[in-house]
Amino acid sequence: MGVDKEMRIVVVPKEEAVFWMDRFGHWYNEGGRLRHKKIVDYFNAAICRDRDGYFVQQVRDNIVEKVYFRYEDTPLFVVDATAEDPVRLMLNTRETIALETDPLFIQEDNLYLQRGEDRIKFSDRALLKLAGRIGYNEAQGYVLLTPAGNCPIPQRP
């Protein structure tokens, strides 16, 4: 979202934010888990990042609000995947990216994708969609099954 010079920017530090995200990508506020799909989708689509961290941004009238928020693990998730090749991954931010083998890794029994400084976690739903493409063998451990062959998925501590 672009910011016009006449726009006023209001920044809320994460210590003052009234919402946060858990390790599964669920949003919460003081009243509990946010369950209304449109609200959850709005929050996810508004996730941005700058040198100070992740924040939710919205523009109202001439005010840009940047609310940094707390999160467990990562605020970025693969929430869906296409079945056909080439596999496309849909993120909670509404971004769509190609599945690539190099940046995949497993940590604490979770599958992640590393993109620059962003660590993107695969949701259970996305893992189910990819279940037929993930295998295991003694020699390589977990592998991504691709038309070009098996690509090992490294474990990280």
C-alpha–C-alpha distance, residues 107 and 157, integer Å: 6
Which residues span the domain enclosing 95? 76-156
pLDDT tens track for 77-129: 999 999 888 899 999 999 999 998 789 999 999 999 999 999 999 999 999 99
User: For the domain that residue 49 is a member of, what is the CATH number?
Assistant: 3.10.540
> How big is the chain by its Cα radius of gyration, in Å?
18
The yes-or-no verdict on residue 27 having pLDDT over 90 is yes
Shared-domain flag, residues 84 and 139: yes
- Domain assignment of residue 3, yes or no: no
Shared-domain flag, residues 94 and 122: yes
Question: Which of 23, 56, 71 is the C-terminal boundary of a domain?
Answer: 71
Shared-domain flag, residues 83 and 143: yes
- Domain assignment of residue 23, yes or no: yes
Question: Which of 71, 91, 112 is the C-terminal boundary of a domain?
Answer: 71
C-alpha–C-alpha distance, residues 46 and 55, integer Å: 8
What total of structural domains would you count in the chain?
A: 2
Shared-domain flag, residues 19 and 63: yes
In a 10 Å sphere around its CB, with 0-12 CB exposed, 13-18 middle and 19+ buried, how is residue 77 labelled? Answer: buried
Shared-domain flag, residues 55 and 109: no
C-alpha–C-alpha distance, residues 106 and 12, integer Å: 33
Taking residues 62-90, report their average pLDDT. Answer: 95
- Domain assignment of residue 35, yes or no: yes
The answer to whether the predicted template modeling score (pTM) of the entire model surpasses 0.85 is yes
Give the model's confidence band at 67: pLDDT under 50 very low, under 70 low, under 90 confident, else very high.
very high
Question: Which of 19, 45, 71 is the C-terminal boundary of a domain?
Answer: 71
- Domain assignment of residue 113, yes or no: yes
C-alpha–C-alpha distance, residues 9 and 7, integer Å: 6
DSSP string computed for the chain: ----TT-EEEEE-GGG-SEEE-TTS-EEETTEE---HHHHHHHHHTEEEETTEEEEEEEETTEEEEEE-EESS-SEEEEEE-SSSSPEEEETTS-EEE--STTEEEETTEEEEEETTEEEEEPHHHHHHHGGGEEEETTTEEEEEETTEEEE--EE-
- Domain assignment of residue 108, yes or no: yes
Beta bridge partners of 27: 21
